């Protein structure tokens, strides 16, 4: 297997397509309008409850910039939102490199486009297991799959994509975009990537520690 070796990137990347799918919707009401201020042509992709919240924030006059992920991919969400963002077109948009001709051909072939920013935070697993009487099945149901995958893909491709996992960073990001004509810098993307991988590492460690602490009898009791 060959690995792409990237030697040419853009320090500044214009933010044109943003994917937002968050459990914690704090701060979106100010962050999304600020993104639009930096570039009125920004397009948003979203899912489920986040899509509904963004539609409220944007209002009827600006809702044209918002698209359901299912409409973009052509695949409806599965029952209970089990599969929403795990799609080839999404990961092409996250992982493609600007100066790789084969990647650009893949985008054209599939009708996809580069995704320049991912705003994702995860199902509240730690909050779930902190509740009294929580079952293993309830905990299992709150293990996020699509969110960590998107975070990791965006963070891996920090040479082009900004992975955003913390609402406390929204103002800093919007400030840079306003200073930089709607662009993120490599320095910011690298900082966000480090934070993103730390975020998923803590998330996975919490799940692993919880499962390690469960007696198998408690697991079996959930399903009989």
Residue-level pLDDT at 64:
93
CATH of the domain at 161: 3.40.50.1380
Query: Is residue 94 in a domain?
Result: yes
How many beta carbons lie within 10 A of that of residue 146, not counting itself?
A: 21
Within 8 A by CB and 6+ apart from 173, the residues are 31, 162, 164, 184, 188, 192
> At 78, is the pLDDT very low, low, confident or very high (cuts 50, 70, 90)?
low
> pLDDT of 137-186, one tens digit each?
999 988 988 899 999 999 999 999 999 999 999 999 999 999 999 999 99
Q: For the chain, how many structural domains are there in total?
A: 1
Distance CA 113, CA 146 (A): 19
Query: Is residue 136 in a domain?
Result: no
Query: Is residue 93 in a domain?
Result: yes
The gap between the terminal CA atoms of the chain, to the nearest Å, is 45
Q: Where are the alpha helices (DSSP H) in the chain?
A: 28-38, 48-62, 69-73, 88-95, 101-110, 125-129, 136-141, 146-156, 170-179, 186-212, 216-221
Residue-level pLDDT at 161:
98
CA 74 from centre of chain = 19
């Amino acid at each position: 297997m060959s690995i792409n070796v990237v030697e040419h990137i853009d320090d500044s990347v214009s933010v044109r397509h943003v994917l937002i799918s968050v459990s914690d919707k704090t701060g979106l009401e100010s962050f999304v309008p600020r993104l639009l201020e930096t570039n009125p042509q920004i397009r948003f992709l979203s899912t489920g409850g986040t899509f509904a919240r963004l539609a409220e924030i944007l209002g009827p006059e600006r809702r044209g910039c918002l698209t359901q992920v299912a409409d973009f991919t052509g695949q409806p969400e599965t029952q209970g939102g089990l599969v929403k963002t795990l799609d080839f077109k999404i990961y092409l948009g996250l992982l493609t490199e600007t100066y790789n001709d084969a990647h650009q051909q893949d985008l054209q072939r599939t009708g996809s486009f580069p995704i320049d920013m991912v705003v994702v935070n995860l199902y509240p697993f730690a909050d779930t297991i902190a509740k009294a009487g929580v079952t293993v099945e309830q905990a299992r149901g709150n293990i996020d799959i699509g969110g960590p995958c998107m975070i990791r893909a965006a963070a891996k491709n920090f040479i082009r994509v900004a992975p955003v996992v913390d609402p406390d960073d929204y103002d800093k990001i919007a400030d840079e975009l306003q200073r930089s004509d709607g662009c993120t810098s490599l320095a910011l993307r690298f900082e966000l990537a480090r934070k993103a991988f730390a975020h998923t590492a803590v998330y996975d460690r919490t799940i692993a520690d919880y499962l390690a602490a469960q007696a198998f009898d408690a697991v079996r009791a959930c399903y009989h």
